[in-house]
Amino acid sequence: MDTTEINEEVTDISDLIAADGEKDETRAYEIGYHLLPTLDDATVEQELAALRDMLSKQGAQVFGERAPVTIDLAYSIEKQIDGKRQSFKTGHFGWIAFEAAGSSLTAIDEVLKANANILRYIIVKTSRDSVAATLADPTLDVGAPEAADESVSDEELDEALNTIEEKVKEEV
């Protein structure tokens, strides 16, 4: 597989379709998206369900996803909402990987563009292997919760061992 095609950012959805050769060729894609940070948890869940439903209606088969989590954006993103330009520094970031025919990408793109709750999104080509690797190793995923730092100092370790030794002596 040509890895230069994997996770390749494009500016026009037709680039993804044309790169596939046949419009009806099925391949793996991923949508990365930022939902408005003003949405409550219930609305975020509804948006994710609507995204899955829309993909299903387009004949896509979802094979991986990361539920949206609130993250700080690298830069402010502006969006016009109710006639006013608003700037956002955070967003609910998530992604969803799916297989679909290239011919369905135009409809998927149009639905995403029309969704007022999406701050920004991107559709990229991917592979099942790439998605599986990301799901297996959360450190590869921007949206995954960070693992807690469970390091223990030498002093804490010595204290815990002393406590265990004392309890063992008491029992003997």
What is the per-residue pLDDT for 72?
A: 93
**Maximum alpha-carbon separation in the chain:** 77
Q: What is the pLDDT along the chain (172 residues), one digit of tens a residue?
A: 333 343 344 446 665 655 545 567 889 999 999 999 999 999 999 999 999 999 999 999 999 999 899 999 999 999 998 899 999 999 999 999 999 998 899 999 999 999 999 999 999 999 988 888 888 887 776 655 555 556 777 787 777 777 777 777 776 6
Which strand ranges, in their side-by-side order, compose the sheet holding 118-125? 61-81, 84-101, 26-35, 118-125
What is the per-residue pLDDT for 7?
A: 39
Say if CB 95 and CB 65 are below 8 A apart. Answer: yes
pTM attached to this predicted model: 0.70
Q: Which long-range contacts (CB under 8 A, 24 or more apart) does 105-109 make?
A: 105/13, 105/16, 105/17, 105/29, 106/13, 106/14, 106/17, 107/58, 108/31, 108/54, 108/55, 108/58, 108/60, 109/13
What is the per-residue pLDDT for 2?
A: 38
Q: Is 9 exposed, middle or buried (0-12, 13-18, 19+ CB in 10 A)?
A: exposed
The domains located in the chain, with CATH, are 3-171 (3.30.70.60)
What is the per-residue pLDDT for 37?
A: 96
Q: What are residue 67's phi and psi, to 5 degrees?
A: -65, 150
Q: Determine the Cα–Cα distance for residues 118 and 79; give it in Å rounded to an integer.
A: 9
Token readout for 96 is 């969803």
